[in-house]
């Protein structure tokens, strides 16, 4: 390494101050990749999933803050947060390209070590779905053995989603929304509603008057679109590595992923495009 310029004063004594590794707790993070087999490629499998969970933690951080801003009728700060979520999603989408370098023959060398563990059980992914509006009370059964997680998910299940907050923002601006959709059972999966679609149509037909609501809608569409891309790439990677075998957690694997790949979180923001 070339010598540093004379005017550089690089700190080298960390006996009384915090280092980069201290701040990031790298000793904990980098010691958490514990292989259950001696196969080289299990490290890839672990790191991809751990890194994805870190990105999902940031998604939840941003979605929660964005929902609060929308509920307070303070939309502009939410735009930056939602744009960041879209960028994070792109990272998650690309991670499947790395995992797809794992061949079926390689994966079979350590798959049996996973037991019944499966990405299907990711509680953060479930929290993201709940926050976006895909509510499935039956999903809580997977977490019955972890009371704290079960409680956290139960709270999220019964909270309004970010889309519920957006629909309320439409109402606050004087757009007519079916009252049943402003005070509904938040634990139930959202179903498309004519009054919500008509309200969004008014926004899209008069962008100048409703610019902030229009911008909010497009940010939500970005997220919905990338969620679909993530599911599609997930499905393709799973089929490439294990074909149509059942998932380690008991799901039907690719068949299950094919059923959910076309799910939409914000249906009216898609159906209005045909009517517009």
Pick out the residues of the known binding site: 45-49, 107, 111, 234, 248
Q: How far apart are CA 69 and CA 64, in angstroms?
A: 9
Closest to 219 measured CA to CA, from 76, 108, 9: 76
Which residues fall in the annotated binding site for heme?
234
Beta strands, E only, the chain: none
Contact predicate 225/93, CB 8 Å? no
Which residues fall in the annotated binding site for substrate?
45-49, 107, 111, 248
C-alpha R_g of the chain = 22
The angle at the Cα of 211, spanning 65 to 171, to the nearest 5 degrees, equals 65
Closest to 37 measured CA to CA, from 115, 125, 144, 138: 115
Q: How far apart are CA 170 and CA 232, in angstroms?
A: 31
Q: How far apart are CA 55 and CA 155, in angstroms?
A: 22
CA atoms within 13 A on the CB side of 248: 16
Q: How far apart are the first and last CA of the chain?
A: 61
CA atoms within 13 A on the CB side of 66: 28
């Amino acid at each position: 390494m070339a010598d540093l310029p004379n005017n550089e004063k690089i700190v080298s004594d960390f006996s009384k101050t915090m280092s980069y590794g201290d701040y990031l707790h790298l000793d904990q993070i980098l010691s958490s990749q514990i292989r259950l087999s001696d196969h080289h490629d299990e490290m890839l499998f672990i790191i991809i999933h751990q890194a994805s969970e870190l990105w999902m933690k940031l998604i939840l951080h941003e979605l929660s803050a964005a929902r609060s801003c929308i509920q307070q009728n303070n939309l502009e700060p939410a735009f930056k947060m939602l744009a960041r979520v879209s960028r994070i999603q792109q990272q998650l989408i690309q991670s499947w390209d790395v995992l797809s370098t794992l061949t079926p023959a390689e994966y079979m060398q350590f798959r049996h070590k996973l037991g019944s563990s499966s990405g299907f059980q990711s509680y953060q992914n479930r929290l993201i779905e709940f926050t976006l509006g895909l509510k499935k009370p039956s999903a809580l059964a997977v977490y019955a053995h972890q009371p704290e997680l079960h409680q956290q998910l139960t709270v999220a299940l019964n909270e309004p989603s970010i889309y519920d907050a957006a629909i309320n923002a439409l109402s606050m601006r004087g757009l007519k929304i079916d009252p049943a959709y402003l005070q509904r059972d938040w634990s139930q999966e959202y179903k498309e509603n004519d009054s919500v679609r008509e309200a969004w149509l008014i926004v899209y037909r008069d962008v100048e008057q409703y610019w902030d609501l229009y911008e909010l809608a497009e940010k939500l569409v970005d997220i919905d679109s990338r969620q679909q891309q993530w599911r599609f790439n997930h499905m393709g990677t799973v089929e490439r590595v294990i074909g149509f075998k059942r998932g380690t957690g008991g799901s039907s694997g690719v068949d299950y992923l094919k059923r959910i790949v076309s799910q939409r979180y914000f249906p009216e923001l898609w159906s209005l495009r045909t009517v517009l």
